[in-house]
A and B are shown apart, each in its own frame.
Chain A
Amino acid sequence: MNTQSTRAKGWLLFLVAAFGLTLGCNLFTPASTRRSEDAALLLMLASHSSIEAAAGDNIADARTPGLSVSFLGSLVETGARRNEARMLAEWYHALAEKLPEDDEVKQAYVAKADEYYEKAKALDQEREREERRRNRGFFRWFSQQVKSFGEGLGRVVGGAMGFAGAVVEYVIEEELPARIRAAIKGEWERIKAIAQGRIEMFWQHLADRYGDVVAGYLRDRVDPLFIHLRDRITGRSRRVSLRLTQTAEAREQATVTITPTPKILPPPTSSQPPARGQIITKTGNVVPVGLNPGLRATSNTISITYQDDGRAPVRGSGMYAAIYKWESCNKDLPSSVRWDLTGSFDPVTRRFSGTLQEYGQGQITYTDCSVGTVPENKDGEGGTWEAVLVDGVIKGSITLIQTGGIPLERVTFEAR
């Protein structure tokens, strides 16, 4: 009786394991008709999210000294995957935020962001349910049974996956980070005896530099994809409207004449590949806003250099020099302020943004009306700048952040 029961249990688990693998491998699932970029992006995010969790788990295990608490915190806090749907929603949201109100793609990105925020909520709920289920006794027992039995099934289940002779092991959640690390480093772990040092994932170096690989590095990496996507959407919109116009015109012609003359239409607008790395410098003048303009300006320049594909940092400099009247002593003395700008350019939105340092120098009068010179302060004062490229002209403003964090718009500028 006992033997029969064990045998029956064995067969039952075999069926479960074999069918489970089949379902898990999607051998019979039909391919969807539309292979979206979002699916590819989600798979990328999910892969990196799992690696991040595995790396964090590794650090937590090792109690590695010398790493910053914030960095460790970002990895170790959860030990679980991120919500990839929310990450994608944030990417689309950020893209939509950057676009001007009248951009025809903006609404499409807003809709995508909303769609993925909704998905993210549903995913959170599903993961909570899964977590609760994993904590139940039956699930734990069952997972262990499947895992143990899977090892027993060995090559049979491997064959069911399409790899004759392969061995399949089920992995319980707690083991997953170590399994992922082992899978990635597997071959080298086995031969590390010949290596001089320790073998680690390069991914960790990306994390050290970017802090958040998913939000920083990966987002930058797929930026050209979003540019291409925008081109596609705008191109398609034009084509669709063109087709509709064509259809309407054809109908109108059909009502007038039985043999309509074919009408020559302009070719559809095709999406242009993004320009590649052309460095452009634009120069212009500033208009003092939060800056005393003085009696007369002696120098008024601004220069901004950027790469039109946005792949290089933006550099700029500006200067406003003027003669100021010192009323108490009735003296006209020179003074100047200059700015060093750094920042970035987004070719999608055609917007610039960045930070700056402001340096001032000039001559002043003392109480006895003698004249003194104030040298340029070495550290300068910090601020921000932003601009937009319109019809080849960069229009923007420079804001100085005063003590206490109070922003003061210093100048507006145009460079062409």
Chain B
Amino acid sequence: MNKRLLPKLLLAGCACFIAPIAIAILIGLGYCLQVSAAMPKTVSGISAPERAVDVWSLSLEQQQTVAELGYPESFAILFYDEERDAGSPETIRFETWSYYSRGIEVTFINGEKAAESSMDPFEVALVEIPYRPEQFTAYMNLAGVVCAAKLTSFTMVPLERRLLPSGETYFADRLTFGMKDGELRFLETLPLVEEE
């Protein structure tokens, strides 16, 4: 009787001892995962493979703008869906091309010129940005953006769940962009100026 009970008692003892430890480890691991996932990260030393990525074809109006004013000194693009007839989504590419030294900003919606505004020109020596609007297309993934922009490093900041679940902002060489669910939703170039 005692011989048969002993292993069971030992097993029960071990279970009582090990189970809380295992649970504690799992809880700790979960917490650690949560914390590390929320931490910003810098990725450097990227050697992006040379591969074909989709490009946006400039519309006629955009080509005319380039012919008149040149490529923008800075540009911002927002990608989102609009609901069309029968509830089908249509991808919208909302672009703002900024010519700070000329004091002009042009807005395009899906390549169609939607607005042109003027501002007082900035008298600064802008360093040319190495990007062009057509390099970026809607909902690219991270590897696509890295490849298109030929990035070698970036810093990624995850956004709070309450603000935008699965949202991340990225900062790279004269560039910032935002991704949600692994898709490019916002991109803006950040020109530099050479100051005396």
Contact = CB atoms under 8 A, between A and B. Distances in A.
Contacts, number: 303
Contact of A224 (B36, B43, B114): B114
Contacts of A169: 41-44
B140 interface: no
Contacts of B181: 26, 29-32
A127 B41 contact: no
Interface string A82-115: 0011000000000000000000000000000000
A47 B146 contact: no
Contacts of A200: 192-193, 195
Given A20-B37, A179-B155, A277-B115, 5 more contacts: A27-B182, A40-B178, A46-B159, A51-B176, A221-B105
A165 B45 contact: yes
B122 A205 contact: yes
15 contacts: A17-B36, A20-B35, A23-B37, A24-B36, A25-B168, A34-B81, A35-B91, A35-B180, A43-B164, A43-B180, A85-B162, A166-B44, A170-B41, A198-B195, A202-B100
Contacts of A16: 29, 32-33, 36
A202 B192 contact: yes
A150 B186 CA distance: 28
Contact of B173 (A41, A168, A187, A196): A187
Contacts of B100: 202, 205
Given A26-B181, A168-B43, A274-B115, A35 B190 contact: no
B109 interface: yes
Given A47-B169, A179-B155, A200-B192, A19 B33 contact: yes
B124 interface: yes
SS of A interface (majority): helix
Interface residues of A, number: 98
B18 interface: no
B23 to A, nearest CB: 16
A95 to B, nearest CB: 16
A50 B91 CA distance: 27
Contacts of A23: 33, 37
Given A16-B36, A26-B166, A46-B169, A195 B118 contact: no
A321 interface: no
Interface string B161-193: 111101111011111111111110110101111
Nearest to A166: B46
Contacts of B183: 31, 35
Interface in A107-146: 119, 122-123, 125-127, 130, 139, 142-143, 146
B39 A24 contact: yes
Interface stretch (B9-17, B51-59, B71-79): B71-79
Contacts of B172: 183-184, 186
A386 to B, nearest CB: 22
Of the four ranges (under 10, 10 to 19, 20 to 34, 35 or more), the interface on chain B belongs to 35 or more
Contacts of B173: 183-184, 186-188
B116 interface: yes
A245 to B, nearest CB: 15
Nearest to A195: B194
5 closest cross-chain pairs (CB), A and B: A43-B178, A20-B36, A23-B37, A183-B171, A37-B80
A224 B117 CA distance: 11
A354 to B, nearest CB: 17
A40 B190 contact: no
Contacts of B29: 12, 15-16
A167 B155 CA distance: 12
Nearest to B94: A225
Given A127-B160, A166-B44, A199-B127, A183 B153 contact: yes
Contact of B158 (A24, A146, A163): A24
A24 B155 contact: no
B171 A50 contact: yes
B63 interface: no
A239 to B, nearest CB: 6
